[in-house]
Structure 1
């Protein structure tokens, strides 16, 4: 039973593939046919435009001729026999130009009067004075809209494309000039532009039978493609020697029932086949002066591309049959591979869940493929949130809160480019808390290609806290909580570099307690420590956040005032001295009054090291001591 179901499934799959391939074939054929129709229509329009430009040139030369238009006007106004003489003069005058036009395939040239009657036919000078207004819509349109135009039109004797130019005198319509090109001439022109095609002319039956004289109507026969159209036998005779199976192609077009397509008045093409060779039949509508369809140009030509499309379909169908036969074998192998892959994935997942470090895997597009239990425990997010959300945006907090996208994240980009990334980073937990982590990121390789990024991270909060404490011990005075000598000198060195670069004002204060040894001797070292801590609190209250206060050793302190000149520093030093003098240190056994001696100096671009500044400040401090203590001295 399973085998039967399997065979039925394969048969359904083959039928589906065959249907799809047939649709692809139809689409390719339609694309080619549409392109063919567009190209031929463009060629047809370009040919008409070329004739139109030639007619414009002829009209311009006649209009500019010093004798042509005056002869035409004078002839229309003169009685017989003078009019006949003037008509003959105009004919002789334009005869050289007409011979040039005949060479170019333009065999119809005529002048009309204002009322639509013929004044002169260059191609038939003996025929004139017949009124054409009733059978020529182009002349009727000229009466109401006297503008130059061209289009297809059937006359009593001539069927073809007419190019009409109105003639004016002092702004009033006095007549018109007309040139005509037959379909045969146009088809020869098209054959030059598209030499591999044969052209036929189909004309609407009602257009021919209502206008043409009987001797002209004999050139048309009923078209086998549609009862509404007649076929120009002359065009059929012209292509008899073309290397085309005309009868076979005609039978296929008859079977296609083209009445609906012909009624649309739009270009269209058919794909035809004979003895496994492809042919194209393209129908281009021929529009009259009212932009209505009076007929079609039918172009036939061999189409190797259609042959190729058909054989592609045959080959694809055969290949699909072979593929279906192989599919069963492939499915069994794929199922076996799937079971093996699932087994390996389960083993890897068990390993990942057992380790204490957080692990997650991203594909090259940044989608989450895997997270282990430790990752959810360390971040507080559940597994679904990490799998479905943007894991990078959820967890990674870049330095200085930089808003980096995944494509800019070094953890992801380094591994995606085949490298290994190891660094301390910050991850955000579900509560918004930032935890320090050490991250290792490596590429996931399959067959030499990077298919993902594996990231392992571990919480290092305890290590960071330990490092912070060590850093604090290395840079902080344990008694006062101020910066120690090492940290202060590093900050002073940085400020000197800024002075050299920016040349702004900064000042250094050196502070020493007066008779501090006497306090230790009288009250003990504990009391001395309380005095130092009392001073540190008073100094903090007087300083800005940008200022730096440090204990240089014993009872000696320094203050760095960035962006402060000597006057501002002296004012601050005096305020600090007065506050310390008026604020004795309170102890259980009473109060201890203290005074300060302060030396200050400005940092300059001549200072190359902190010792240069400290030496000047020490000298100023020494002067304050020498001058009686409890004062501020500048150097």
Structure 2
């Protein structure tokens, strides 16, 4: 073997990321590089085994499909996926990173057959830290800093998603908008820090009355919104009553004494005549407006039909 060939093999073996040669049937034809055990496990024993031999059925089928798609399209493909060391039979447990890992896979068809089979080169780069950072940044962009619940942006995105499901499948959907009555008095009498405390504690208390599927968000200031998937009007009104009573019973303790609050609630339900979520939001907001003018600490439902009287629940 020439010096140039030796150098080429040494360079490939020293690649920081592991390089897999995988055939169309899912056989590991070769594994090179990826020797840093801080980021990668030692998978050298996988050579001549198949994906089906060492991976759970669903993961093996996924990798096999990606290989075949790459061969069919005959081009470089880049994708992200998760895989833990425990998912691969025979990987040493005393070395290598622990837990679920995320990888960027760069898959390129090879021009020549490997033992009579078409094959790809699959370069796997560990992007776990980047993936975690992206998750944190996304959570921050969707979370209200003060209360820890959804912010307006996230809430509208969730409402849009569920409204689309309503339009497509007819799945019931209700929306609730509520705010704290006379909240300015709390800020004036106890200070804005106490007001912030009330908003935070109110959000936590509301969660105790909700289902896991319900989506609570801060709409702005002392106003909150609640997306209720798969919820008919009667159930939404019952929840609104329970939520109103629960909030009324809470005592908020601060340095200048304690305070109690009440909330006013407006409700709307999705209708086939709604063009988009703006119609749903407008009716819920109108219900809140009517609740305020009815004396506060009450619930109003604004129907879709023009001219119909609103439903009242004291």
Range into which the TM-score falls when normalised by the shorter chain: 0.7 to 0.9
1:532 aligns with 2:188: no
1:389 aligns with 2:49: yes
C-alpha distance 412-502 of structure 1, shift in aligned 2 (>3 A): closer
Q: How far is the alpha carbon of 1:380 from its aligned partner?
A: 1.9
Contact 2:52–2:60 (Cα < 8 Å) also in 1: no
- How large is the RMSD of aligned CA atoms in angstroms? 2.7
| Alignment correspondent of 2:75 | 419
Q: How far is the alpha carbon of 1:459 from its aligned partner?
A: 0.6
Show CA shifts across 1:263-285 (max 9, x none): xxxxxxxxxxxxxxxxxxxxxxx
Partner SS, residue 47 of structure 2? helix
C-alpha distance 538-617 of structure 1, shift in aligned 2 (>3 A): same
| Alignment correspondent of 2:84 | 428
Q: How far is the alpha carbon of 1:451 from its aligned partner?
A: 5.4
Extract unaligned runs of 5+ from structure 2. 86-90, 303-314
Contact 1:360–1:375 (Cα < 8 Å) also in 2: no
Show CA shifts across 1:186-228 (max 9, x none): xxxxxxxxxxxxxxxxxxxxxxxxxxxxxxxxxxxxxxxxxxx
C-alpha distance 623-416 of structure 1, shift in aligned 2 (>3 A): closer
| Alignment correspondent of 1:355 | 15
| Partner Cα distance (1:352, 1:608) in 2 | 58
Number of residue pairs matched by the alignment: 289
C-alpha distance 613-371 of structure 1, shift in aligned 2 (>3 A): same
Partner SS, residue 438 of structure 1? strand
**Which of 143, 146, 151 is the equivalent residue of 1:484?**
151
Q: How far is the alpha carbon of 1:388 from its aligned partner?
A: 4.5
| Partner Cα distance (2:235, 2:72) in 1 | 56
Contact 1:483–1:549 (Cα < 8 Å) also in 2: yes
**Which of 356, 368, 379 is the equivalent residue of 2:28?**
368
Contact 1:356–1:374 (Cα < 8 Å) also in 2: yes
Q: How far is the alpha carbon of 1:552 from its aligned partner?
A: 0.6
Q: How far is the alpha carbon of 1:433 from its aligned partner?
A: 3.2
Contact 2:216–2:227 (Cα < 8 Å) also in 1: yes
Q: How far is the alpha carbon of 1:402 from its aligned partner?
A: 5.6
Summarize the alignment of residues 84-233 of structure 1 with structure 2, pairs less than 5 Å apart.
none
C-alpha distance 420-504 of structure 1, shift in aligned 2 (>3 A): closer
Contact 1:412–1:453 (Cα < 8 Å) also in 2: no
Partner SS, residue 261 of structure 2? coil
Contact 1:411–1:421 (Cα < 8 Å) also in 2: no
1:553 aligns with 2:220: yes
1:444 aligns with 2:110: yes
Summarize the alignment of residues 399-414 of structure 1 with structure 2, pairs less than 5 Å apart.
404=61, 408-411=64-67, 413-414=69-70
Partner SS, residue 404 of structure 1? helix
Q: How far is the alpha carbon of 1:611 from its aligned partner?
A: 1.5
| Partner Cα distance (1:468, 1:365) in 2 | 35
Contact 1:422–1:438 (Cα < 8 Å) also in 2: yes
| Partner Cα distance (1:577, 1:466) in 2 | 38
| Alignment correspondent of 1:465 | 132
RCO greater where, 1 or 2, for CA within 8 Å and sep 6 or more?
2
Show CA shifts across 1:496-534 (max 9, x none): 222223334322111010111111122222111111111
| Partner Cα distance (1:344, 1:547) in 2 | 64
Q: How far is the alpha carbon of 1:536 from its aligned partner?
A: 0.8
| Partner Cα distance (1:468, 1:609) in 2 | 29
| Alignment correspondent of 2:267 | 600
| Alignment correspondent of 1:563 | 230
C-alpha distance 375-362 of structure 1, shift in aligned 2 (>3 A): farther
| Alignment correspondent of 1:614 | 281
Contact 2:80–2:103 (Cα < 8 Å) also in 1: yes
| Partner Cα distance (1:478, 1:484) in 2 | 8
Q: How far is the alpha carbon of 1:345 from its aligned partner?
A: 5.8
| Partner Cα distance (1:426, 1:405) in 2 | 11
Q: How far is the alpha carbon of 1:363 from its aligned partner?
A: 4.1
Partner SS, residue 445 of structure 1? coil
| Alignment TM-score, normalising by the size of structure 2 | 0.82
Q: How far is the alpha carbon of 1:490 from its aligned partner?
A: 1.8
| Alignment TM-score, normalising by the size of structure 1 | 0.42
Q: How far is the alpha carbon of 1:601 from its aligned partner?
A: 1.7
Partner SS, residue 119 of structure 2? strand
| Partner Cα distance (1:546, 1:586) in 2 | 30
Contact 1:444–1:450 (Cα < 8 Å) also in 2: no
Structure with the bigger percentage of helix? 1
Extract unaligned runs of 5+ from structure 1. 1-338
Partner SS, residue 228 of structure 2? strand
Q: How far is the alpha carbon of 1:622 from its aligned partner?
A: 1.1
| Alignment correspondent of 1:79 | none
Q: How far is the alpha carbon of 1:600 from its aligned partner?
A: 1.1
C-alpha distance 624-348 of structure 1, shift in aligned 2 (>3 A): same
Q: How far is the alpha carbon of 1:472 from its aligned partner?
A: 1.3
| Partner Cα distance (1:529, 1:548) in 2 | 21
